[in-house]
Amino acid sequence: MTSKKTPRFHLVYWPEIQGRGEFVRLALEDAGATYTDIARLPEQLGGGHGAIEAALAGDRGKVRPFAPPILVHGKVVVAQVAAILHYVGPLLGLAPKKEAQRLEVLQHQLTLTDFVAEVHDTHHPISTELTYEKQAAEAKKRAKSFREKRMPKFLGYFESLLEGNGKKAKWLVGKSATTLDLSMFQIVEGLAYAFPRSFDRFSENIPRLMDLHGRVMARPGIAAYLASERRLPFNEMGIFRHYAALDGK
């Protein structure tokens, strides 16, 4: 995807988890882009958590990010998932050609950002500084509301986007896959891990989104990535965490 004239992409994100960085990785992997996952490099090669701290301190350019993920591409430094995907989408062939549709993709990606925050708050409803165990009772209440109200509202909305895009629509915006479709794939993957019982039951209500999930999984770049060691498994350090008590009965 890159050449001598095209700078390599550098992704700066926590090396132990998929987290928010995974939304960016999926786009890069789908397009077969040449990139370096900086913090996964050994410390002696400039990797590890020190690379993240340096990026947050502004060593990558004039733009000082608040938090990872951070993407560096030549002189461009951009953070926040939605902003990163809005930037790389056209470069990777994962964005509509029309500006109005590119803005639509950005709008929906920001809605997914809100959704991801609500997923995180199911297991950390009080504070990120406290462990899950110290807020388990509150988490159980928050997760119940999420499963019964918020998850259906968000996913129902995206299901309706596919319906509104035409009877034969395969993608959320336009006629080709975009970064938004890859992000929706990750949302489905994460929910199936975090809430296996609840999501399995609810998935019957979103057949179009489940079909989209299958189409993304079958894309050559994604299939190769999922089968590689680069795709870290979900764990209880990231956004999507599985605690049986939060999955209902």
- Decide if 237 contacts 131 (C-beta within 8 A): no
Predicted local confidence at residue 166, as pLDDT: 72
Mean pLDDT of 27-56: 94
Tell me the pLDDT band of 2, cut-offs 50, 70 and 90.
very low
Work out how many domains the chain is built from and give that number. 2
Query: Do residues 21 and 71 share a domain?
Result: yes
**Token couple for 182:** 């890859």
CATH number for the domain including 62? Answer: 3.40.30.10
β-bridge pairing 9-12 and 35-37:
parallel
| Residue ranges making up the domain that contains 88 | 9-92
User: Biggest alpha carbon distance in the chain?
Assistant: 56
- Decide if 26 contacts 228 (C-beta within 8 A): no
Mean pLDDT of 107-128: 98
Mean pLDDT of 45-59: 91
Predicted local confidence at residue 168, as pLDDT: 77
Whole-number Cα distances in Å, 118 to 30, 114, 161, 175, 237: 27, 6, 20, 29, 16
Predicted local confidence at residue 7, as pLDDT: 75
Tell me the pLDDT band of 6, cut-offs 50, 70 and 90.
low
CATH number for the domain including 213? Answer: 1.20.1050.10
- Examine the pLDDT at 229 and tell me if it is beyond 50: yes
> Would you call 71 helix, strand, or coil by DSSP?
strand
Tell me the pLDDT band of 118, cut-offs 50, 70 and 90.
very high
- Examine the pLDDT at 1 and tell me if it is beyond 50: no
Query: Do residues 44 and 126 share a domain?
Result: no
Residue 32 lies in a domain: yes
Tell me the pLDDT band of 164, cut-offs 50, 70 and 90.
confident
- Examine the pLDDT at 59 and tell me if it is beyond 90: no
Residues 6+ apart with CB under 8 A from 219: 30, 177
Predicted local confidence at residue 70, as pLDDT: 97
Residues 6+ apart with CB under 8 A from 147: 195, 198, 202, 247, 248
